[in-house]
Structure 1
Amino acid sequence: MFIRILFCVLLLSPGLSQVHAQAEQAPLRVGITNVPPFVMQAEDGRWEGISIDLWRAVASGMDRRFEWVPMSFNSLLTATESGEIDVAVGALTMTADREARFDFSHPFYQTGLAIAVPPVPKQGLLASLKALVSWQFVSVVLALGALLLAVGFLLWLVERHRNPEQFGGSAAEGIGSSFWWAAVTMTTVGYGDKAPISFTGRLIALVWMFAGLIMVASFTAAITSSLTVSNLRTGIQGVDDLPGKVVATIANTASRRYLEEQRIRYQLYPDLTSAMISVSEGETDAVVYDRALMQYRNQQLGPQRLSILPGIFAQQLYALAMPAGSALRGPISQQILSATESGDWARIQSSYLGQD
């Protein structure tokens, strides 16, 4: 009896080994969600991105086949926790709450929140010349010219008969002389070649002298504002300047939580592109979001591109996620370290994010 049982076991053992080997070689179910530039789908249907390229290197190093399982972000977290998928690939931030639900690999990307503000024009002679022909500058000059003409005309009316030597002649000549007097008096140059002699004329001159001081200051400020090529609209140079501003961000994100914790007023938008466009169009003062994602999206805005301030805050780490207790955690972390230490890793990042 014992010999018969042993014979049956020997017959079945090759089959059991084959089933076990097939189970080991079953394709890994890799959950992904669209989050450019880490995971995105090309026009031909292929998946690409920083995390996609990283996972391909990891799977190649492990010599494992895999299949993509696209899903929404919330479904991705649920599927990872339940074990429906073997690995979650994307831009998952390592947090204590998530670590309690599933396991993370070694982090592969360090990032954080950053601030984007309206673009700062480049300073230079060409920018200054363009400002000189802007409508803001021209309108100020026209308004000042109209005021000088009005004051000159008023002085000509009261001086043309009492002081014909300086303000006489034809109407054009008299008004021209009065216009000249109003200009040199306003600028406090006062050549002294022309001066009113009547009481009314001198009263006009006295008022105009004091008004001229205000006019020169206002005109100088208008010109300075027109020629200034710096980001004066928001005055945001860092995170300390955000209080009192209206900041664009996206719901259910780390950036929104940060703004709430800091009691900074914010406006929610459905996606990053619309949030960034709101800044370029003046609806909001700045946008706070993940630097890497904002850096990638900024390249696609064209003329509405923003200026991303240097530095990050509220640092975050990205990693791959697996069900709790997964045997893949060790091998995947080892391959991530190998991939991120290679010379290709910097090339992969710059190919999607550009040079920062």
Structure 2
Amino acid sequence: MNTKLLLIFLWFFATTLYAQLPDTLLVGYTRAAPFIVQDKNKLDGLNIWLWKKVAQDLELPYKMAPMNFSDMLDSLRTGGIDVSVNPLTITSKRSKHMEFTHSFFASNATVVVAKVSSFEKLSTFLKGFFNLNFLRGLLVLLLIILVFGLLGWFFERKQNPEKFRFGPRGIWDGVWWSAVTLTTVGYGDKAPKTKSGKITALVLMFGGLLFISGLTASIASSLTVNQLTNNPEGFNEFKERKVGTIANTGTRTFLAEHFFKNVKEYPNVVEGLTEVKNGEIEAFLYDEPILKYRIQKDSSLQKLQLLPIKFDVQFYAFGLPKKNTELEQRISQKILEIMETKEWEVVLNEYGLAEL
């Protein structure tokens, strides 16, 4: 008798749970190639394939509803839709307002910048070389050559007239000797004979050696900084720059948590990448698979490049309202089963996706 009552109770409980689900699920989505690719009225992509497989195996009737990203998230919070099949990043903030299925893909965010042409690289190098500090150093160097050239000529003109002649030509002799001595070329065509001249030469050689070493280090440092500025290789190098990302995304939250000060938000990837191409922003930061796919497929974006920077590891999943816990568990179980098949690996390769 107890067994019969238990079975009746379980049947009634299961029937009640299933009855809570609508006859036809409303499935929200927004374009996010290669996960969701929309070509006119045709939907394709990894997430679309996965959802169709899940819905077919679980016998879930559904209706697709195109939405913009922000509205889709709001609808998940309020229960306006039953499922979102977008590649939603699982975050603690989102988990407070919605349920997530088991993650089916792991990736990371990256950085897109405009490609630098060879002419621009040369221009950047010249700007870094002939900067204000370099010009100041060059002026001081010429002044040192002139002063010590005059001193050498002054001390040597009487006792060494063969090497340091009288008049303007002698001054040139002194300047020539000073330049050759300072640069350690050492032609040997002119050399001081007097005690004062030799002391002047010693001061010039040792003092000039230190000055040129400092000037060389300054130029090298300037070129290195300039190269890093125009060819950033680190995530933190973009903190002070004008960058862009998609609003209400995990990447936007990540940038805020890491103190990025100048971030412009966009409703979609294409608008952000277009502004990078046009020079409106310096970089666009978002999910690597989506950025890579968009640049490869859009010929107008071929002047953009992905930097070898990876940050903010992300786990993608489907989203559901908090009230759909039972549905989430059924979908999660089915996703795990699909991911264990060889077919899943084939589909990943078909869309050019590789997990971390």
Matched, 1:214 2:205: no
Whole-Å Cα distance in 2 between the matches of residues 191 and 347 of structure 1? 73
SS in 2 for 1:30: strand
Q: Which residue of 2 aligns with 1:305?
A: 305
Match of 1:267 among 262, 266, 271: 262
Q: Which residue of 2 aligns with 1:34?
A: 31
Q: Which residue of 1 aligns with 2:50?
A: 54
**8 Å contact from structure 2 (residues 31, 38) kept in 1:** yes
SS in 1 for 2:102: coil
Distance 1:224 1:175, change over 3 A: farther
**8 Å contact from structure 2 (residues 90, 100) kept in 1:** yes
Whole-Å Cα distance in 2 between the matches of residues 207 and 276 of structure 1? 59
Distance 1:247 1:342, change over 3 A: farther
Whole-Å Cα distance in 2 between the matches of residues 298 and 196 of structure 1? 68
SS in 2 for 1:89: strand
Whole-Å Cα distance in 1 between the matches of residues 275 and 196 of structure 2? 57
Q: Cα deviations across residues 164-215 of structure 1 (Å, max 9, x unaligned)?
A: 5335599899858844x34442244646542356899778756644244212
**8 Å contact from structure 1 (residues 119, 307) kept in 2:** no
Where does 1:154-193 land on structure 2 (aligned, <5 Å)?
A: 159=153, 162=158, 163-167=160-164, 175=172, 178-179=175-176, 181-188=177-184, 190=186, 192-193=188-189
The answer to which of 319-328 and 244-253 deviates more is 244-253
Q: Cα deviations across residues 271-329 of structure 1 (Å, max 9, x unaligned)?
A: 36748976997977x8765454455567675444242334x44x543221334237644
Q: CA deviation at 1:336?
A: 1.9
- Gap runs ≥5 in structure 1: 1-23, 122-126
Matched, 1:252 2:261: no
Q: CA deviation at 1:32?
A: 0.5
Match of 1:319 among 317, 320, 323: 317
**8 Å contact from structure 2 (residues 148, 175) kept in 1:** yes
Distance 1:281 1:168, change over 3 A: farther
| Alignment length (residue pairs) | 316
Distance 1:283 1:197, change over 3 A: farther
The answer to which of 159-168 and 215-224 deviates more is 159-168
Q: Which amino acid aligns with 2:265?
A: P
Length-normalised TM-score, structure 1: 0.61
SS in 2 for 1:56: helix
Distance 1:348 1:193, change over 3 A: farther
Q: Cα deviations across residues 46-101 of structure 1 (Å, max 9, x unaligned)?
A: 33333223223334544666543101223223444555544311022334565565
Q: CA deviation at 1:153?
A: 6.2
Q: Which residue of 2 aligns with 1:341?
A: 340
SS in 1 for 2:163: helix
Q: Cα deviations across residues 143-177 of structure 1 (Å, max 9, x unaligned)?
A: 98887777666666673965553355998998588
**8 Å contact from structure 1 (residues 152, 175) kept in 2:** no
Whole-Å Cα distance in 2 between the matches of residues 282 and 216 of structure 1? 40
Q: CA deviation at 1:102?
A: 4.5
- Gap runs ≥5 in structure 2: 1-20
Whole-Å Cα distance in 2 between the matches of residues 62 and 339 of structure 1? 12
Distance 1:131 1:294, change over 3 A: same
Whole-Å Cα distance in 2 between the matches of residues 207 and 279 of structure 1? 55
Whole-Å Cα distance in 1 between the matches of residues 95 and 81 of structure 2? 16
Where does 1:232-247 land on structure 2 (aligned, <5 Å)?
A: 237=234
Taking only the aligned residue pairs, the percentage that are identical comes to 28
Whole-Å Cα distance in 1 between the matches of residues 346 and 167 of structure 2? 78
Length-normalised TM-score, structure 2: 0.61
Q: Which residue of 2 aligns with 1:135?
A: 126
Q: Which amino acid aligns with 1:104?
A: F
Distance 1:304 1:325, change over 3 A: closer
Whole-Å Cα distance in 1 between the matches of residues 281 and 194 of structure 2? 55
Distance 1:252 1:325, change over 3 A: closer
RMSD: 5.3
Q: Cα deviations across residues 91-125 of structure 1 (Å, max 9, x unaligned)?
A: 2233456556554322212345x46487999xxxx
Q: Which residue of 2 aligns with 1:89?
A: 85
The answer to which of 291-300 and 250-259 deviates more is 291-300
Distance 1:305 1:182, change over 3 A: farther
Q: Which amino acid aligns with 1:75?
A: D
SS in 1 for 2:262: strand
Q: Cα deviations across residues 9-57 of structure 1 (Å, max 9, x unaligned)?
A: xxxxxxxxxxxxxxx9x76542111234432434x45333332232233
SS in 1 for 2:162: helix
Whole-Å Cα distance in 1 between the matches of residues 103 and 95 of structure 2? 13
Q: CA deviation at 1:253?
A: 3.4
Whole-Å Cα distance in 2 between the matches of residues 41 and 74 of structure 1? 18
